[in-house]
Chain A
Amino acid sequence: MSAAREPMFELRGVSKRFEKRLDFAGKIARAMGARLRDEIVHAVDGVDLVIGKGEVVGLVGESGCGKSTLGRMVAGILPLSAGEIRRNGQVVARAGGAAEADAAALREAKLRTQMIFQDPYASLNPRMRVADIVGEAPLVHGLVPARELDRYVDEQFRRAGLDPSLKRRYPHQFSGGQRQRIGIARALAVQPDFLVCDEAVAALDVSIQAQILNLFLDLRRDLDLTYLFISHDLGVVEHLSDRVVIMYLGRVVEEADTETVFRRPNHPYTQSLLDSVPRIDARKRAFHPVKGEIPSPLNPPPGCHFHPRCPRAMERCRVERPVLREIAPGHRSACHLNDAA
């Protein structure tokens, strides 16, 4: 299914390192023998990913796995430490170097990629009327002439399921679900073809979450949108996505179409993640949790990052990083167990 799609985004070896250099005092202390070093977090470590046109890719992982960082790099709001990102075949972001696309094409690419954030309370300017929040960008980018702006904003409001008569209000006068709709209206106002949704429904109540998820489904159908849907909630991802990518401590550990990931997970981490999820159809049952905690990304375990918690870890997992490779058409997994079979 995904193989047939024309790729929209191609990520090659994309990495992001956050470095905390020693300050002056730290350097002196180190020169005098203190065991201090620069702290480097490999938030995202060599990710290859293809997102097809019109596809909904779900990006799943727990805290600190780098899913949000990856989303931000795809959205173009964080520079890369290594690798490159292509959009429609053109390099739009590359570590250290200039992009291949010219300035105008680059701006176009950025405009066509929009992001929807988790916290609808923090991502809207509290001092702006919502009509201005939604209308500012299309006006600045010349997508709509000033005299038609009013009508245009009304249209965006209606599409996001908001009453246009409320547009003179400020963000604090709206509920959480309505604010998330404003965030969606703002993103859609510049006519994007690609949306990065970073935990876009995580802060909402279940009944409101269902409304927003339905809105995402409707918009996809009506506007032919492509989504990168980042979430820790497997139920939400399963419902919405065509393909699912599982990350653990900065690396992609498994990737396949949604059916396969949920029916036949290959990677032990994916399996234990699915086992841990409470399901409404699973009654009064014993929980079989994964052992141990998520290691600090500051100091990840060597070899396979998951080996200290993995029930099937072998000697090799402690030393050698498993490569993400195809184990069935369209199904990739990074686990040494696949070599043994």
Chain B
Amino acid sequence: MTPTLEVRGLRTHFFTRAGVVKAVDDVSFSVARGKVLGLVGESGSGKSVTGFSIIGLVDPPGRIVAGEILFQGRDLTRLSAEEMRDLRGNRIAMIFQDPMMTLNPVLRIDTQMIETVQAHAQVGREEARQRARDALGMVGIPSPDERLASYPHQFSGGMRQRVAIAIALLHRPDLIIADEPTTALDVTIQGQILAEVQKLAAETGTSLIWITHDLSVVAGLADEIAVMYAGKVVEHGEVSAVLDAPLHPYTAGLIGSVPSRNARGRPLRQIPGMTPSVLNLPPGCAFRSRCDRASPACEADPPMRELAPGRDARCVHPLLPADA
């Protein structure tokens, strides 16, 4: 079966006056139908730009310079603006960290949702309204009929994010890209949203790319995980496998940085130094200056290689079980 989405060798660069920012530099992954991929990384790792590249929202001076984005077999990088607009919001939807990026503050929710429905479906106003109401109900908004007549500012942060998710769901897309959608929310509200999303992905067969910096969220939600560092995917595999036995030293450091109950009061396993700027990044493994396993061999770009069945990492000195 062809996967819903397959990204091959994607490179998105920003041509700024200070130099070329290689925000995404050779990223490949695929997402099967109904599966959740967690795309994890810290600020500036290129995880959001990867999301924007898929949905075709990279603004100048940024440009996709190489690679293929195969969505149900069609290469999105070759589509015209018209064809892309037809897909966006219809077959592929995106949820942003700040729901106010999705919502227009001066229009009522029903206006915005009906507009979205009618943009891609030949339906009357009444039926569009009906669909909007169903979508609100699906994401757990109480009394959707009344809420349709409200303005975005009359919703709390968690409810706004639900509305944004409802809008993303209107056309039952095949792929949803969620960019840190629960980062700004309180824990109990985040729990509610995660529960809804999990249910929806299982029920509707929608594939999901969940972009986040929070490994704990991905641990509970995703099927597969791709860890990004300085514009590259450094490790990819099934969630439990990656979190239990990371191959890349960066993944291991990231996991060690998460405070968890067995290490209370003891120093966390921190990664020294900080994330490099992707502007004019020298060749070679970008993590080598922070890595305790680095050697002269790391000065050449390490290729992504399969180190175990279904487990890829971009490292010359991976943490193989034999050394652990």
Chain A positions near chain B (C-beta within 8 angstroms): 62-63, 175, 177-178, 205-211, 213-214, 217-218, 232, 234-236, 238-240, 258, 262, 272-273, 275-290, 293-294
Binds A, one of B119-127, B170-178, B261-269: B261-269
Residues in chain B near residue A207, CB distance under 8 A:
42, 253-254, 257, 270-271, 274-275
Residues in chain B near residue A294, CB distance under 8 A:
156, 186, 188-189
Residues in chain B near residue A178, CB distance under 8 A:
274
A278 in contact with B268 (CB, 8 Å): no
B195 in contact with A284 (CB, 8 Å): no
Residues in chain B near residue A236, CB distance under 8 A:
259
Does B138 have its Cβ within 8 Å of any Cβ on chain A? Answer: no
A205 in contact with B189 (CB, 8 Å): no
B215 in contact with A287 (CB, 8 Å): no
In the complex, chain B residues 188-218 whose Cβ is within 8 Å of any chain A Cβ: 188-192, 194-195, 198, 213-217
> Shortest 10 CB-CB distances between A and B: which pairs?
A276-B191, A239-B259, A210-B257, A289-B191, A62-B186, A289-B192, A287-B195, A205-B42, A278-B216, A210-B268
Residues in chain B near residue A281, CB distance under 8 A:
219, 260
Q: Which A residue's beta carbon lies closest to that of B262?
A: A281
Q: Which A residue's beta carbon lies closest to that of B271?
A: A207
Q: Which B residue's beta carbon lies closest to that of A177?
A: B274
Q: Which B residue's beta carbon lies closest to that of A272?
A: B188
A279 in contact with B220 (CB, 8 Å): yes
B243 in contact with A238 (CB, 8 Å): no
Tell whether A287 pairs with B198 under 8 Å between CB atoms, given A62-B187, A275-B191, A278-B216.
yes
> How many chain B residues touch A (Cβ–Cβ < 8 Å)?
49
B268 in contact with A288 (CB, 8 Å): no
Q: Which A residue's beta carbon lies closest to that of B190?
A: A276
A214 in contact with B270 (CB, 8 Å): yes
B180 CB to nearest chain A CB (Å): 12
Q: Please report whether the interface of chain B is mostly helix, strand, loop or mixed according to DSSP.
A: helix
A217 in contact with B219 (CB, 8 Å): no
A232 in contact with B187 (CB, 8 Å): yes
Partner of B260, one of A279, A284, A293: A279
Tell whether A63 pairs with B186 under 8 Å between CB atoms, given A235-B258, A235-B259, A278-B220.
yes
Residues in chain A near residue B223, CB distance under 8 A:
284
Residues in chain A near residue B156, CB distance under 8 A:
293-294
A329 CB to nearest chain B CB (Å): 21
Given contacts A281-B260, A294-B186, 7 further A-B contacts (CB under 8 A): A205-B43, A207-B271, A210-B269, A214-B267, A239-B268, A279-B220, A289-B192
Bound Cα distance A235, B259 (Å): 6
Bound Cα distance A101, B5 (Å): 68
B98 CB to nearest chain A CB (Å): 15
Bound Cα distance A239, B258 (Å): 10
Residues in chain A near residue B258, CB distance under 8 A:
206, 210, 235, 280
B195 in contact with A213 (CB, 8 Å): no
B42 in contact with A285 (CB, 8 Å): no
Bound Cα distance A210, B274 (Å): 12
Residues in chain B near residue A282, CB distance under 8 A:
216, 219-220
Bound Cα distance A279, B253 (Å): 17
A104 CB to nearest chain B CB (Å): 37
Tell whether A283 pairs with B191 under 8 Å between CB atoms, given A206-B42, A207-B271, A210-B257.
no
B46 CB to nearest chain A CB (Å): 14
Residues in chain A near residue B263, CB distance under 8 A:
239
Residues in chain B near residue A283, CB distance under 8 A:
219-220, 239-240, 243
Partner of B220, one of A175, A213, A234, A285: A285
B261 in contact with A238 (CB, 8 Å): yes
Residues in chain B near residue A284, CB distance under 8 A:
220-223, 239-240
Residues in chain B near residue A208, CB distance under 8 A:
42, 274
Bound Cα distance A288, B220 (Å): 12
Bound Cα distance A307, B220 (Å): 28
Residues in chain B near residue A213, CB distance under 8 A:
259, 268
Bound Cα distance A17, B188 (Å): 26
Bound Cα distance A63, B156 (Å): 11
Bound Cα distance A294, B43 (Å): 29
The 23 listed contacts between A and B (C-beta, < 8 Å) are A62-B187, A62-B189, A205-B42, A206-B213, A211-B272, A234-B187, A235-B258, A239-B265, A258-B264, A276-B190, A276-B191, A277-B191, A278-B214, A280-B219, A280-B260, A283-B219, A284-B220, A284-B239, A284-B240, A285-B220, A287-B198, A288-B191, A290-B192
B238 CB to nearest chain A CB (Å): 10
Bound Cα distance A14, B221 (Å): 41
Does B255 have its Cβ within 8 Å of any Cβ on chain A? Answer: yes
A206 in contact with B220 (CB, 8 Å): no
Residues in chain A near residue B73, CB distance under 8 A:
none
B188 in contact with A290 (CB, 8 Å): yes
Residues in chain A near residue B264, CB distance under 8 A:
238-239, 258
